[in-house]
Every structure is written in C-alpha cells, then in structure tokens.
Chains A and B, each alone.
Chain A
Amino acid sequence: MGEVIVITSGKGGVGKTTTTANIGTGLALRGKNVLLIDTDIGLRNLDFIMGLENRIVYDLVDIVEGNCKPRQAMIKDKKYQNLLLIPAAQTKDKTAVSPEQMKKLVTDLKKEFDYILIDCPAGIEQGFKNAIAGADRAIVVTTPEVSAVRDADRIIGLLEASDIRDTQLIINRVRPDMVKRGDMLSSDDILDILGIKLIGIVPDDEGIISSSNKGEPSVLDSKSKAGEAYRNITARILGEEVPLMDLEDENKILVSLKKLFGRK
C-alpha cells in the first residue's frame, strides 16, 4: 500500500513542480514505483518539466469524467519504467474536479504504487482542496522570503485543520552568500516561525532553468548542487539519515586560506 504525499506551498513560483519532478524521479531511481499527479488544472507545468508534454493523450479531468481509465491517462517516463505521470488538463479549470473525486481516485491507485506525489497548485482555494484530498502527508516548499514564509504558515494551518500532520519543510532557492550578509532569512529564522520538521535545503541553482527547459530533472545530473540536494531529500523520505549539505564548500578552502593569512 503506497503513500500519498502532496507537495504544496501557498505561494506560487517557489518550486513545487520542480520539487515534485525531482523527488519523483529520485524515488524512481531508487527502484520505487512512483506516480506523479499534476492537479494544477488550467496551468499545467509538470508534464513539461518532465519532458513528457508531447505524449499527452488523456488527462486527470478525462479520468474523473469517465472518458478513460486511469491507466490510459498515465504516461511513462522517458527513462524509467517505474515512473508514471497523470497530467492535468489545460483547457479546463480547477472546478472541473472535486475533492471527493480526487480522494476516490487516489485511494484506488494507492494500491498500485509505492509513492503517489501530488503537485499542488498555488493558492488555498479549490485547487488546493483537490490536491490535499486523500493525501497521507504533505511537504511544504518555501523560499527564504518573508512573503513565501507567511503563505507557508497559512498553508500549514490549513493542513493541520484538515488533519494532515507531521508536515515537512523544504527550503528552496537558498543563496548562502546572501544569508551570510544578513540579506536573506536563515533556516533558523524560518523554522522559528513555521515550527515543522525540515526535510531539506535546496540551493539556488541556474542549472534548474536549463534542466526544466530540457525536460530532464536536475536530480539526474551528478554535477548539479540542486540535484544533490534533491537526491538527499529522496534518501530522507526513504528513512535514511543524511546530513544537510554544506552549501558553502566551494568557498571553504578560500576562507581557510584567508584566515591563515590574517585577512577577513
């Protein structure tokens, strides 16, 4: 029996879809049977990020309206047989699906997968309600900006009110140089307000943009720092203890040399 995890944030553009794609691929790399579901109806992106947009025939709304069976809408990943995607519809909007329909679908499909990851749209309205229906737990994504943290707090409150507990946090797009200068919130500042367990920190990485454009999640790139962060997050989801990445290691040698020569 699989686990249904919803990836949500409240704020838009913080990296939910990127996180869903990377964690999903990461879990598939480790041999798990993974299903990704894009619930951002009308503004779908997960298909594109996974490089699968040309292969869409049926989508989530087709399943819910009975136009096809769930398996018919599932698209296999280009590289991994054990990774599947149900894309969202682009020509409809979020009222096309109800929370009850989502819950039923997800509960039925749970038996066939180890993990079902649900990519939640931004906001707190119907799209959000659809995405969390049937979820066992949640991962909240935020960036180190006050507006994102405020929205994340709201979302965590709404999750608690829907009885989804033990939510975990990913802090995305961290720039350690800015944190050092005091221009960016530190993880401690963020955890002070949100008070949930941190499951990973992902550094800001230009490579994410190119990997999105190519449709190849960064988790597959051994040279990508963001990819490494996502591989670590995947390991933690599987229950392994992985220490948080030292985001400053490129500069470490430089810093020690500076100290040696007495300069700040």
Chain B
Amino acid sequence: MQNEEVLIKGRKSGFELILNPKAPFESILSSIEEKLSAPIFKNATATISFVGRPLSDVEFLMLKKTVLETTKGNFIFEDPFKSAGNSVFDYLNEGEDVVKFHYGTLRSGMKLTSKGSVVVVGDVNPGAEIVAAGNIIVLGTLRGVAHAGASGKVDAFIFALNLNPTQIRIADVFTRPPDDEKRRKITPEIASIKDGNVVINEVNY
C-alpha cells in the first residue's frame, strides 16, 4: 500500500479507489489514468468512491474529470464530503471556511488564490486577478478580474463597494460589463448567479 498511489477495490455496486495520502496529487491522477484504462472500466456503470486521503473541492472535481475522461463510463461518485465524522469532511470545512485577507491595493499583475474566500481591504486594479473557490469581497473598487466559486460553486458571490471589473466569473459563467456602459453611480453591489446568468444587485444597508 505504501508504494501504490491508487488501489482499486471492488464493492457491491461499484469500486472504491483507495488513494495514498502521502503521494503527490499529480501522481494520483496519472495512476488513475493508467489503472482505469483497463477494458473493464470502459463505458461501465457503477458507483465510485474515493477514500484514504482528504480531498479539497478542486481535487475532487479533478479526480472525477480524470475518471470520466479515461473511461467514458457512467459513474456515480460518492460525495466524500457528506459522510459525518470523516476526517475528509473536516479538511474540506477547513478549506471552505478559510478567508484570505489582503490589505492594500491589489496591483496589476498580482494574483490572489484561495481554497476558501477572499477579502480585499483596498482596491483591485485592472490587470489584477482573484481566484477563490468561495466568495470574493472587495472593500474598495474592483477593476480587475474576480473569479468566485472557481471550484464549481454556483452559489458563490462577488461583492464590492464599487463594482467596475474588466470581467466577472462565477463558477463556469464568465461575463463582462456592456461595451457602451457609462459609469453608473458608485454604490455597493453584489454579483451572483440566477438562472445561469450573472446578475448584479445593489446592496442597500
């Protein structure tokens, strides 16, 4: 077990992929690609669960993607985050609740990433980027690119005291301000997804 990145065990309704907690994530992915290219998995229909290693939102998405691309199968993935009392659950909660703070202006060319949420106490200038698995809050003017829910969370939001970005991204929806837009009044606004589109609402206190 120590040397194998991934071990596959059969279960009643599918497979359990036992992931080595010590191996680097890239090697886990390549091992899955290798092992799951066996004919038995091609176009299979089964349940797959990943065990043995705490996983983040993003990692879980990547594992699912790798399995599906390699096998073209019809798999149902057991959500590792639903099992109560599992250490995986605790790890993810840690990631989700983590809030990264940045004090001061985020300048052009700077990039902030977080597995949780991001709060910028300052402005975000054009050419700067924020990528968060969670929410993004800018206590200033947002002029750069903000990507919230980057791991697929459609209910993530982006808030700014002055929302004037070059681009807004939430989960996999990208949008930009209208080309002919004259600068609206400066007021706190929040961007979120409704019916698959990004909507901007004023925030009234």
Chain A contacts to B: CB under 8 angstroms: 150-151, 153-154, 156-158, 160, 193, 195
- Contact: A150 with B143, CB < 8 Å? no
- Contact: A193 with B109, CB < 8 Å? no
List of A residues within 8 angstroms of B108 by Cβ: 150-151, 153-154, 157
- The residues in B between 171 and 205 inclusive whose CB is less than 8 angstroms from any CB of A are none
Tally B residues with Cβ within 8 Å of A. Answer: 10
Select one of B107, B125, B143 contacting A160, CB under 8 A.
B107
State whether A157 and B110 are in contact (beta carbons under 8 Å apart), knowing that A150-B126, A193-B125 are contacts in the complex.
yes
**Smallest distance from the beta carbon of A165 to chain B beta carbons, Å?**
11
Chain B contacts to A: CB under 8 angstroms: 105, 107-110, 123, 125-127, 143
A-B pairs with the 7 shortest C-beta distances?
A: A157-B107, A153-B108, A154-B108, A154-B109, A153-B107, A153-B125, A195-B105
Select one of B105, B123, B127 contacting A154, CB under 8 A.
B127
> Whole-angstrom distance between the alpha carbons of A151 and B107 in the complex?
10
Q: A193-B126, A195-B123 are in contact. List 14 more A-B contacts (CB 8 A).
A: A150-B108, A150-B127, A151-B108, A153-B107, A153-B126, A154-B107, A154-B108, A154-B109, A154-B127, A156-B107, A157-B107, A157-B108, A157-B110, A193-B123
> Whole-angstrom distance between the alpha carbons of A158 and B109 in the complex?
9
List of A residues within 8 angstroms of B143 by Cβ: 193
List, sorted by A's number, 8 A–B pairs whose CB atoms are closer than 8 Å. Answer: A150-B108, A150-B126, A150-B127, A151-B108, A153-B107, A153-B108, A158-B109, A193-B123
List of B residues within 8 angstroms of A156 by Cβ: 107
**Smallest distance from the beta carbon of A185 to chain B beta carbons, Å?**
13
**Smallest distance from the beta carbon of A67 to chain B beta carbons, Å?**
37
> Whole-angstrom distance between the alpha carbons of A151 and B126 in the complex?
10
> Whole-angstrom distance between the alpha carbons of A160 and B143 in the complex?
20
> Whole-angstrom distance between the alpha carbons of A195 and B143 in the complex?
14
List of A residues within 8 angstroms of B105 by Cβ: 195
